[in-house]
């Protein structure tokens, strides 16, 4: 058995888990989630994810953003609802999509920086009938 082999989840940084040198990267790498606190079931609403300010060069940039939904009563979470690859220099790490939710859910946004790894943020959205 490989003793140092971490679970993948332990490789994802978040503001709560950041310590030491990682703390200086929290502000520039944690995805910002702009979404309503409450929505109606099965009604479209907009969600915006952005990262930064962050460098956007060939050597250092945000390369990918993914959005997952974890439904409150679903047995197997999460659901991948959006995934976007970003090209350095040309593409800025900001996207807006429309979602529909069936039930109260937690939205997870994951950003990947080629130098500083994976960064997570999350927001609960209450779904009212
Ligand atoms: Fe970075």
CATH code at position 35: 2.60.40.730
Tell me if 81 sits within 8 A of 95, measured CB to CB.
no
Residue 24 lies in a domain: no
Residue 44 lies in a domain: yes
Give 4's pLDDT tier (boundaries 50, 70, 90). confident
Structure tokens of 13?
């940084």
Residue 56 lies in a domain: yes
- pLDDT surpasses 70 at 106: yes
Distance 45 CA to ligand 1 centre (A): 30
Domain that holds residue 93: 30-128
- pLDDT surpasses 90 at 129: no
Distance 115 CA to ligand 1 centre (A): 5
Nearest to 112, CA basis, from 80, 65, 60:
65
Nearest to 35, CA basis, from 111, 102, 124:
124
What's the structural domain count of the chain?
1
Distance 31 CA to ligand 1 centre (A): 12
**pTM, to two decimals:** 0.94
Distance 52 CA to ligand 1 centre (A): 9
Using one digit for the tens of pLDDT, what is the confidence trace for 24-55? 999 999 999 999 999 999 999 999 999 999 99
Give 1's pLDDT tier (boundaries 50, 70, 90). low
């Amino acid at each position: 058995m490989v003793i140092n082999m971490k679970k993948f989840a332990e490789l994802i940084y978040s503001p709560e888990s950041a310590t030491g040198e990682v703390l200086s990267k929290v502000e520039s790498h944690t995805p910002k989630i702009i979404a309503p606190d409450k929505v109606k079931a099965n009604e479209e609403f907009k969600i915006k994810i952005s990262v930064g300010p962050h460098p956007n060069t060939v050597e250092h940039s945000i390369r990918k953003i993914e959005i997952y939904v974890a439904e409150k009563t679903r047995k197997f979470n999460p659901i991948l609802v959006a995934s976007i690859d970003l090209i350095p220099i040309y593409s800025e790490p900001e996207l807006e999509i429309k979602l529909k939710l069936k039930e109260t859910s937690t939205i997870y946004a994951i950003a990947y920086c080629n130098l500083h790894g994976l960064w997570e943020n999350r927001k609960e959205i209450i779904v009212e009938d």
